Structure 1
Amino acid sequence: MSAVIFIPARYASSRYPGKPLVELTGATGEARSLIRRAWDAALSVEGVAAVYVLTDDDRIAEAARGFGAEVLMTSDQARNGTERCAEGLAQLDGTPEIVINLQGDAPLTPPWFVEALIAAMRDPSVEMATPVLRTDPETLANFVTDRHAGRVGGTTAVMRGDGTALYFSKEVLPYVGNLETPPEVWHHVGVYGYRPEALRRYAGWAEGPLERAEGLEQLRFLENGTPVTCVPVEARGRVFWELNNPVDVARIEAVLKKEGIA
């Protein structure tokens, strides 16, 4: 099936302005911008026809073109990455069968996460899907630390027995009362797969109250009755974390060095 990857990136992040251009130092001591590292992650995915950076900011566009990325300029009216992907889809000459949204703040996304997502979407009944990862003790501790400190960190997912999503939240769900014997907590991975028609429908829906409260774009699908298929993926020893707050720079750089990622 034909698939394209979009990397939406905006400069005016409310929690971390200028985040896509923040530099992260890898194992060799080389510093690369966050958007460059997201681009590198996208290029490592097999079976993808094209990769594009989507942005409304000239600074991000210039930086992306500087390392060889294809850039699609989108409007400043896009409220989230999914709306930006809908704008990007409208600019393509042809229509791919699958659109992948690899968010620009997730440079530690392993290629097998995205490849598993594409494989899941070979089922024609799946309109929208997203990977989920069972938390390891280190990640769960980071979740709890962030919430106790009043920081909004990663996102958790709660699922039905059939693997479709019940809810996503920036709270730690289910409740973790005792870290020594925690319940199973699933970390939502910031990657989405859409059928083009589902992406177009999304752009026509108003922002819902749950999406607005949580700041999670995928909740608009649930609020409008579109199932979200959660695709369990394996970490294979790699720590996954997004860059949500300045404190995450050190966390991500530590993983880059541990994994030998330049």
Structure 2
Amino acid sequence: MSVLIVIPARFASTRYPGKPLVDLKGANGVAKSLIRRSWEAGQSVQGVARVVVATDDHRIKSAAETFGAEVVMTSPDCQNGTERCAEALDALGGDYDIVVNLQGDAPLTPAWFIEDLVKGLRDNPVTDVATPVLRADGRALNGFLADRRAGRVGGTTAVFGAQRNALYFSKEVIPFTDQTYEEDAPTPVFHHVGVYAYRPDALRSYPQWDAGPLEKLEGLEQLRFLERGTPMLCVEVEARGRQFWELNNPQDVPRIEAMMREMGLD
């Protein structure tokens, strides 16, 4: 099955304008832009036919082309990354069986997260959309709670049913727990990893639907599928000793750089 990875990136982020071009320093002290690190993460995935950056901004296009990325220009009217991926797919054409949306704010995404996600979708032929979830340890859960206490929007959490289909995603910490966990202890909270795998027909249907009230309230694009009754498979992935965090706010830059130093990632 042919797999296309699309990395949607826009300059005019509400919470963090210019985010794709923000530099992150690795363990060796070398700075690379967020969009470059995201593209390199996509390039490391096995079994992928093509990796492209999809953007509406020529500054991002120019920056991406300097490090060799293929870029697809998309409309500034795209409301979110899923709509941008759908537009990129139409522009590229080609016979892809699965399209992966590797959002451009998750440079710490390991290759096996995406490989396991693609396998999960392949192994469930009646499922059209899938996304990874990672069980939060105490350190990650404490980070979520600290962000919320500070009024920051941090990571997204997910809850799912017995068949692993998503019940809900939220920027609040769900499910509720009042226990205290050691930093390396498993918790009942699952961190939603901002990556999606779609079958092309499901992806093409998405922009035809209006955003529902939950999507608007949470600002989470994946809720459009749930509000329309489209099941979304949650594929549990394993950290294997890696830390994971998305770049949502300027305060996340030093947090991610510290994680990269700790893990020895250049």
Which band: TM-score by shorter chain?
Answer: over 0.9
Q: Secondary structure at the match of 1:40?
A: helix
What is aligned with 1:153?
154
Q: Deviation digits for residues 101-125 of structure 1, max 9, x if unmatched?
A: 0000000000000000110111221
Gaps of 5+ in 2: none
CA contact (8 A) 1:174 1:183 kept: no
- CA deviation map 1:81-130 (0-9, x unaligned): 00000000101131300000000000000000000011011122110000
Q: Is the 8 A contact 1:89 1:95 kept in 2?
A: no
TM-score by length of 1: 0.98
Distance 2:41 2:109 in 1: 6
Residues in 2 aligned to 1:58 and 1:179: alpha-carbon distance in whole angstroms: 47
Q: Tell me the equivalent position of 1:260.
A: 264
Q: What is the identity, as a one-letter code, of the residue corresponding to 2:88?
A: G
Deviates more, 1:193-202 or 1:115-124: 115-124
- SS of equivalent residue, structure 2 residue 188: coil
Query: What CA distance in whole angstroms lies between the structure 1 residues aligned with 2:5 and 2:137?
Result: 28
1:46 is aligned to 46
CA contact (8 A) 1:132 1:230 kept: yes
Contact kept, 8 Å, 2:41 with 2:109, in 1: the verdict is: yes
Q: C-alpha separation between the residues in 2 aligned to 1:64 and 1:176?
A: 42
- Please identify, of 201-210 and 180-189, the stretch whose mean Cα deviation from structure 2 is larger: 180-189
Match of 1:233 in 2: 237
Q: For residue 52 of structure 1, report the CA deviation from its aligned partner.
A: 0.2
Following TM superposition, where does structure 1 have runs of at least 4 consecutive aligned residues deviating by more than 4 angstroms? none
Alignment check: 8 A CA contact 2:159 2:175 kept: yes
**Offset at residue 179 of structure 1 (A):** 2.4
Q: 2: distance between equivalents of 1:40 and 1:132?
A: 21
The residue that corresponds to 2:34 in the other structure is 34
Instruction: Assess if the C-alpha contact under 8 Å between 2:101 and 2:195 holds in 1.
Output: yes
1:200 pairs with 2:208: no
Q: Deviations for 1:185-205, whole angstroms, at most 9, x for unmatched residues?
A: 000000000000000111100
CA distance in 2, matches of 1:250, 1:126: 38
Q: How many residues are paired up?
A: 262
Aligned to 2:62: 62
Moved more, 252-261 or 20-29: 252-261
Alignment of structure 1 residues 112-151 onto 2, 5 Å = 112-122=112-122, 123-151=124-152
Contact 2:136 2:187 in 1 (8 A): no
Deviations 1:141-198 (A, max 9, x none): 1000000111001000010011000000000001132324895000000000000000
Report the Cα distance in structure 1 between the residues aligned to 2:3 and 2:226, rounded to whole angstroms. Answer: 23
Considering only aligned residues, what root-mean-square deviation do their CA atoms show, in Å? 1.1
AA at the equivalent of 2:168: Y
Q: Does 1:163 align with 2:164?
A: yes
What is the identity, as a one-letter code, of the residue corresponding to 1:53? V
SS at match of 1:48: coil
Q: How far apart, in 1, do the equivalents of 2:34 and 2:80 lie?
A: 18
How far is the alpha carbon of 1:26 from its aligned partner? 0.4
Q: Structure 1: which amino acid aligns with 2:192? A: H
Of 205, 214, 219, which residue of structure 1 is paired with 2:218? 214
Flag structure 1 segments of 5+ consecutive residues without an equivalent: none
Q: TM-score, normalised by structure 2?
A: 0.97
The alignment-based identity, stated in percent, is 63
* Cα distance in 2 between the residues matched to 1:158 and 1:237: 23
Which residue of structure 2 lines up, in the alignment, with residue 93 of structure 1? Answer: 93
1:6 aligns with 2:9: no
Deviations 1:230-262 (A, max 9, x none): 000000011100000111101110111122211
